[in-house]
Structure 1
Amino acid sequence: MIPHPVTAFVFLFPLTDNYEKHKEEEEARLTKHEQNVCPDVIFFKQTIANACGMIALLHSLANNDSIVGPGLFRNLIDQSKDMSPEERAEMLENSKELADIHKTCAQAGQTQVPDASAEVDLHFICFVVKDQHLYELDGRKLFPINHGKCLDLVEGAAKVMRQYIARDPNQTSFSAIALTKTPEQ
């Protein structure tokens, strides 16, 4: 029932002790046994508090930049192409226009905006396919996670999202949004 083609998934999940343990173990394992990451993957470190939704959206767009028109996101994507994840984070931190738009959009939402320093227990990440591999892009992690060969983003991302759910079966705060292309008019 998801319109195709799907170009990215944004996934919301609870930050739990089980997740944090898995994150630490995964990063330790992948740091020790390097993974192959396609050089075309654009990855942003999240250094702005409570901005994971924006970072997930930016990951979705930056890794599907052919669908991004003119404007702030196009400018950020173009500026960041040849930057390291740390340089990209600094660029985002210094973008007054991005901060203003983020604040305006957050306040226009349907829920109360948490204070920037507030502890939150939910987190957004992104899944994309590059060079026929599924990537998990989480700005809180050290690097993109290559989940292996993937010919169908919906199936691949659903498999990883089910693993998140299985780690915390008593949690109910999971959600996913698909970024899809619309037919040309």
Structure 2
Amino acid sequence: MDDSISGDARLALDLALTVRHDGNGGVADDLTAPAGLTAWVRDHPGLLPDAPAYVADDRALSEVRELRAAVRALFARAVRPGEPSPADAARLLPVPEAVERLNTVAARVPTVPVLSWADGADPVVRQEPPDGRTELTATLAHAVLAFLAGPERQRLRACHAPRCVRYFIKEHPRQEWCRPSCGNRARVARHHARHRTSA
């Protein structure tokens, strides 16, 4: 993975990637139960101060799924004029609704800039809640806002390899697919299509 991808971009992308190809021609959703959200948060230890001990409930799951729907709708807009992920094409939220949902969730916990400057390092400014209080969906929404308003958004693409439903950040100029395995599937599909039409 490209180290030049910011933490906000990585978090926003990871949230969108909880919808993925299931390996059998369908779409899998990693967030269908609170246990899935619990595992996802624990796999992102910097997300919340208590991420290793986090336990999701039905309400948190519903809120994150609603936020993810807005994120995927906005990702579909960000990749225009390219096509959105095939998982989203038929069920995207209208963009104004997605923007409103994202802004509403982000407003749940305001942040202030906080400067850190360790010896021998460059200064870093992070956005943190003024009272130290964090909230999962607001934290995610802040990361998505930073990503969508930042320069990395220009590198966002939807992978159109057969059966893939992922978004990815283009890491080099010739990259067309999210992973090498997707490139292989696309090449095999093109090969079979050429041989079918020539036979």
TM-score if structure 2 supplies the norm length?
0.26
Which of these two proteins has the greater Rg computed from alpha carbons?
2
Give 1 or 2: higher helix fraction. Answer: 2
**RCO higher in 1 or 2 (8 Å CA, sep ≥ 6)?**
1
TM-score if structure 1 supplies the norm length?
0.27
Give 1 or 2: higher strand fraction. Answer: 1
